[in-house]
Structure formats: C-alpha cells, structure tokens
Amino acid sequence: MSIADSLGRPLRDLRISVTDRCNFRCRYCMPREHFGTDHEFLAREDILSYEEITTITAAMIPLGLSKIRITGGEPLIRKDIARLIEMLRALDAGMDLALTTNGVLLKRHAKTLKHAGLNRVTVSLDALDAALFQTMGDTEHTADDVLAGIDEALKVGLKVKVNTVVQRNLNESQITPIAQACFERKITPRFIEFMDVGSTNQWNYDSVVSGAEIREILSNTLGPLHSVSTGHPSDVAKLWETEHGEEIGLIQSVTSPFCGDCSRARISANGSIYTCLFATEGQDLRSLLRFGAGKQDLDQAIRSIWTSRKDRYSETRTELSQPKSKVEMSFIGG
C-alpha cells in the first residue's frame, strides 16, 4: 500500500547513488581542491552491493515506487552496472528505470544498459565549446565524447534528455547551441538553476541564472516559447515549446521551488536514506541490512522514516539559517 509523508506527499521516486566517485571534477559539484588526491572516498566494503541495493528497492516498491534513477558520482564507472539494472528490472517489469550520467562512457555502455532493461538516460552537458566544457568539468574529456554517447543511446533505443546547469558569466552562451544540438536529435534539453547543494561549491545567489532569464535568452534566439503542461506534478521540469514544437525544460529549484510535490527519496552509496537533497544527515539502512534485517523490518523502517518526513528546504531556504554540513551532491546522488 502506498504511503505519504507528514505533508501528504507520496513516496514515488527513488534515486540510488551507486558510487561517490567520479571521472569529472565539475567545479559546481566536486571541486578538485575538496575532492583531490587526499579526499577519502568510501571504502569498497562500505558501499552497498548490488544485492543490498536490490533488497532495499524491493522493500520500497510496495510502498508506491514507480520511478528509479541510478546516479552518483558517475554511475558508469561502477563495475558491471548493467547487472544492477538487470536485477532491478527483474523486480518489476513496468518500473520506469533511468540513469543520470556525464555521458563520456555512455557510448561504450548504452547497448548493454538497454538490454539490461534501462528505459532512459539523462545526460549532463554544460557546454559544447571545447575549452569551456573542459573548464567546467575540470576534465580532459570532450563534449564530442558526450555527444557520441547520446547518439549511441538514441541508436540503441534509450530515451534521452540532456541536463545543463547554467552559471552566470560562465556558460550562458551555451544555452542556445545546446538547445539546438538537442533539437537536431529530437531530444529535450533541460536547463537547471545552479543550486546550493553541499558546502564545497562556493554557491552564491549572484551566480544563479534564473529560469526566467534562461527563457528570455532562448526566446531571443529561437523565437517565442509557449508553456506546456507536464505529465505529472512531481516532474521537476516546467516545459516550454518553440513554435516548431521543440520542447525545453526548466528546472527552477531556486527561484520556483517544487517541494510541495516532492516525492523523492535518495539512497547514498553507503546505504543511508535521505528524504531531501539538502539534508544534513541520512538514516542508515546498511547497518539494518547487515545486522540481518528482513524485508518486513526494512519496510517498517522506511515507512516510519517517510511518514515522519517534513522536508521542504527549497521553500524555506531564505527563512532558515543555512545548515552547516549539507551533504554533497556527488555523495547523495543528484
């Protein structure tokens, strides 16, 4: 039976972080000065095995889950990730199964992921300009690697969306070219307001380019945009359409928060459950599992965590004093 939190929000989406490591060092997510060679990543034994992830997910499905997203860190660097997809698919043939990736390993993995039962990928792409791409990701990889991954994903039949985080005085110039590259491929670009997740990315309000500004940039270059309704209230992106029917998503978590419809739980790579992206701490399901908890114990623990949930950080960020140690996005999963 599906459950609701203390504000009446169901538990529909689960984001599973499979690793806290990444082959990029995006300045807004894992700045190298904080995630350098001396950073202590999780030890292998602290990370949930695929079997443990599957057990937790199996306990959550009867509570109302309809969407699962595999994320990280970079999920495609975890060994044999398609095996996890296969295991999750075996739990529920109708589940919406998605994965978020920076895309550089997607060309290599797309076919196996599709065969394993993945429905969709969301590919992050912040710049097409070669130098800017490498600066923002602090990486040697190229935007062409990402585009090749997107093209392969489309070729094997995965649904694809593109995510672009926009930062002021950095990649506004990339908004229109990215939208056009997406339209050529008949996929939806989604532009995301830079968020104050974690405590290492030096976020400040001035570096946020609002959804309204992004829309203005796009309508100046592509012509008028019309609002279209999304499929579901818990969809994070507000959708707009050009006069040619091309779709654009705006994720305005800073200027237009959507906590009222937030039905997302997150599992960190080390097996804690978080009920908000901006949480300061999670609740440890891994210990429960490793101490021999069965499906019923997990069901009870998750039920009690979700029913007492009252998070609405994005709606209250200006009222509250900032929490001191917000968890990092690369750890909890974006």
Which residues contribute to the site for ligand SAM (CB under 6 A)? 22, 28-29, 71-72, 74, 100-102, 124, 163, 165, 192, 194-195, 197, 201, 329-330, 334
Distance CA 317, CA 197 (A): 11
| Dihedral sign of CA atoms 144, 149, 154, 159 in order | negative
User: From CA 118, how far away is CA 251, in angstroms rounded?
Assistant: 23
The residue among 165 and 293 lying less far from ligand SF4, judged by its C-beta, is 165
Region from 77-85, 110-118, 181-189, 272-280 binding ligand SF4, contact rule CB under 6 A: 272-280
- Using the structure block, give the residue that is written with the tokens 């040619």: 244
Stretch that binds ligand SF4, among 11-19, 46-54, 106-114, 310-318 (CB under 6 A): 310-318
Among 5, 74, 193, 247, binds ligand SF4 (CB under 6 A): 74
Residue nearest to ligand SAM (CB): 334
141 lines the binding site for ligand SF4 (CB under 6 A): no
Minimum CB distance to ligand SF4, residue 163 (Å): 9
Is the Cβ–Cβ distance between 99 and 158 less than 8 Å? no
Based on the shown chain and the rule CB under 6 A, indicate whether residue 330 belongs to the binding site for ligand SF4.
yes
Residues in contact with 182: Cβ distance below 8 Å, sequence separation at least 6, in sequence order: 162, 188, 189, 246
Q: Identify the DSSP state of 64.
A: T
Name 278's bridge partners.
Answer: none
Q: Minimum CB separation from ligand SF4 for residue 43, in Å? A: 19
DSSP 203: -
Q: Which of ligand SAM, ligand SF4, none does residue 266 bind to, with CB < 5 to 8 Å depending on kind?
A: none
**H helix runs in 285-328, sequence order:** 285-290, 295-307, 313-316
Question: Under the criterion CB under 6 A, does residue 166 sit at the interface with ligand SF4?
Answer: no
According to CB under 6 A, which one of 3, 123, 166, 277 is a site residue for ligand SF4? 277
- The encoded tokens of residue 317 equal 């960020």
276 makes contact, choosing from ligand SF4, ligand SAM, none, with CB < 5 to 8 Å by partner type, with ligand SF4
Q: β-pairing, 238-241 with 247-251? A: antiparallel
Strands 283-284 and 272-274: antiparallel
Interface residues with ligand SF4 (CB under 6 A) are 22, 24-26, 29-30, 72-74, 102, 124, 258-259, 262, 264, 276-278, 311-314, 330
